[in-house]
Chains A and B, each alone.
Chain A
Amino acid sequence: MEPFTSITSVAAPLLRINVDTDAIIPSREMKRVSKEGLADGLFSGWRYLSITSREPNPEFILNQPPYDHAKILLTGRNFGCGSSREHAVWALKEWGIRAIIAPSFGSIFQLNCVRNGVLPVIADAETIEKIAGLVLSDPLTNRITVDLQNRLVRTPSFELSFDIAERERQMLLEGLDMIALTLKAESAIEAFEQTDHANRPWAYL
């Protein structure tokens, strides 16, 4: 997994609540048994003028320079709710988004982000609106830094510290492969199974 330490970028405000994973990538865009080739379908219902063409909708923020190069997304609460499709994160990442700042996230989506080197940052809605205001006034000057090492979001006018579980922070910083790590706990898993099998034999097929 690609490590995440710190990024500085234009941030794109998409200040809507309950942006679901169907909106992030509609089911019709998931055409192959693959984690790749999904950026084109990102937000396709909003990003393109019709389902049959790829004509960009000029109203949509990610189609507007300089937001079309944003690596940071500012958004509303419950971002990534709905379907568990990891394609939502794969599409965002392939398009270029590496950090998402929201008041809250859909729980499966949030974990999917961490497992793919995308940083979910939780901040209150008021602060996000403040950042968005700064960005919209001059997006290129008011670039935003998301610094995971120091757990800070930096804007030209203020700083904001954020919480993230230490384990997830380490994972992201070092780009760790969780499965490889857990496989090292094999003896603990085996020991658990032995005891558990005796206690709950019906649970074992």
Chain B
Amino acid sequence: MKTKTIIDKLWDVHRVQSMSATTDLLYIDRIFLHERTGSIALRGLEQAQRKIRRPESVFVTMDHIVDTKPGRGDSTTMPGGEAFILATRESARKAGIALFDIGDPRQGIVHVVSPEQGIALPGLTLVCPDSHTGTIGGLGALAWGIGSTEAEHALATQTLIVRRPQQTRVTFSGQLRQDLNAKDLILHLIGRYGASGGIGHAIEFSGPATRQLSVESRLTLCNMAVEFGAWTGLVAPDDTTFDYVAGRPYAPQGVQWEKAVKAWRQLATDDEAVFDRELEVDISSLGPQVTWGTSPEQVISIDGSIPLISSSTDTAVREAAQRAMVYMGVEAGQKLAGLEIDVAFIGSCTNARLSDLRQAAAVLKDRRVAPNIKALCVPGSSAVKRAAEDEGLDKIFKQAGFEWRESGCSMCFFAGGESFGTGKRIISSTNRNFEGRQGPGARTHLASPATVAASAVLGRIGHSGDL
């Protein structure tokens, strides 16, 4: 009978047993950890004297706390940061799990590294104590973020008890403008349906515009499903996916590869399958998106104006908008384009893959960032950094006045160490514009790498068409 969605299919393959009417015990194929929360999960496991059930399925990388300045070591400007690095290294060694340590060519941001190394594959379940784990859905995997206690559970039992989510299909129709990024797509979706629009749901992104996206773009799209409130998001795997995965270090090879691809082709949602909710979004007239507030839902087209507070009928939304405007130093009705910035940041698990860096570099080539702008590019992984350098992108960034960093999460969040300074206005290719996220009083405007690059050159919020 052909009535399953891709989410049903992935679920059924991984179901060990039913636990209740609404929950199942699911088998977990891969577990990824990082030094921020993974260190705590590993330590918790040690203290409870529990063993990792399948150490060969577990990987750790250093990304959250590790410094990104050239010549870095274990020391970091984050108070207490080194302890996380040392604890993670020690626990990983004791547990016999693979660690992509500082200096390892495979090191990088967890959600950049796992697809890059072929550790994440279509059809797998993958969890990580990190909310952006849904990124991996871009490969057609079922991947979601968990807490440290759940990570201990996954490490000890290779399973998790998971509530069956409701399912939404988001169909993007139309053609994404060449100069836009999947970031513009997902920000638009969040703006339209709200930051809680996906709560309780797993999302399949589909439609012609999704199919045209590269794997890197699909990863960006799924990365911010959590900012939509969704449990996870995914894109069914296709030839684009298989071409991306083929030949990666941990990907299957030879006969195993053939078998795997045959199985992965079956993962598509059946024609007759029914979702709990269908959302259709035509993106043919979509322009670059930039957030104006302190939630990703507070987003507009770069040429638009900040909405009038009275335009919402919901009191809570009006109050949140009011608070956000005060915090951000903006006013209702104001245009975002032209707003002066202090900092331009390109990095994070959302937008620091090679294609993102290429898009930004295309804007920066033969240009300079405006005076007094601090501009930073932090590649998503050490491999991305090397690939970018092989193409000469590092030179474009540096000649434009950007700092060129080692890989890590860097200033996607402020951890008490390195800082852009209190109250700075930042245009950022990251995923969260929460109050204080990038520093005390920091005012974050989320945008695509190309928009960040153009704004850096202009010294104010703008896009490449303004240059």
| A residues apposed to B, CB below 8 Å | 15-18, 20, 22-23, 26-35, 45, 50-51, 76-78, 81-86, 89, 104-108, 111-112, 115-116, 125, 165-167, 178-179, 182-183, 185-186, 188-189, 192-193, 196, 199-205
Contact indicator A200/B263 (Cβ below 8 Å): yes
Contact indicator A86/B27 (Cβ below 8 Å): no
Contact indicator B153/A178 (Cβ below 8 Å): yes
**Which residues of chain B from 421 to 462 have a CB within 8 Å of any chain A CB?**
422, 432, 434-437, 440
Number of residue pairs across A and B with beta carbons under 8 Å? 194
Contact indicator A23/B435 (Cβ below 8 Å): yes
A107 to B231, CA, bound (A): 6
> Can you list 22 contacts pairing A with B, beta carbon distance less than 8 Å?
A15-B316, A16-B323, A17-B317, A18-B297, A77-B316, A78-B199, A81-B196, A82-B226, A86-B37, A104-B199, A116-B149, A125-B316, A167-B161, A178-B149, A182-B25, A185-B157, A188-B25, A189-B157, A189-B159, A202-B256, A204-B57, A205-B56
* CB of B6, distance to nearest CB on chain A (Å): 16
Check if B246 is an interface residue, CB within 8 A of chain A.
no
A33 is contacted by which of B19, B43, B57, B227 (Cβ under 8 Å)? B43
Contact indicator A35/B156 (Cβ below 8 Å): no
A98 to B200, CA, bound (A): 23
B435 is contacted by which of A45, A178, A179, A202 (Cβ under 8 Å)? A45
Residues of chain A with a CB closer than 8 A to B36's CB: 30, 85
Contact indicator B131/A82 (Cβ below 8 Å): yes
| B residues apposed to A, CB below 8 Å | 13, 16-17, 19-20, 22-23, 25, 27, 29, 36-37, 39-40, 43-44, 48, 50, 56-57, 78-80, 83-84, 87, 121, 123-124, 129-131, 145-150, 152-153, 156-159, 161, 163, 195-196, 199-200, 226-227, 229, 231, 250, 252, 256-257, 259-260, 263, 295, 297, 316-317, 319-320, 323, 413-416, 422, 432, 434-437, 440
Contact indicator A108/B147 (Cβ below 8 Å): yes
A82 to B257, CA, bound (A): 36
* CB of B121, distance to nearest CB on chain A (Å): 7
User: Known contacts being A78-B229, A179-B157, is A33 close to B87, with CB within 8 Å?
Assistant: yes
Residues of chain A with a CB closer than 8 A to B200's CB: 104, 107
Contact indicator A189/B16 (Cβ below 8 Å): yes
* CB of B356, distance to nearest CB on chain A (Å): 22
Residues of chain A with a CB closer than 8 A to B39's CB: 33
Contact indicator A179/B27 (Cβ below 8 Å): no
Residues of chain A with a CB closer than 8 A to B19's CB: 167
Query: Which B residue sits closest to A178, measured CB to CB?
Result: B153
Residues of chain A with a CB closer than 8 A to B150's CB: 111-112, 115
* CB of B119, distance to nearest CB on chain A (Å): 8
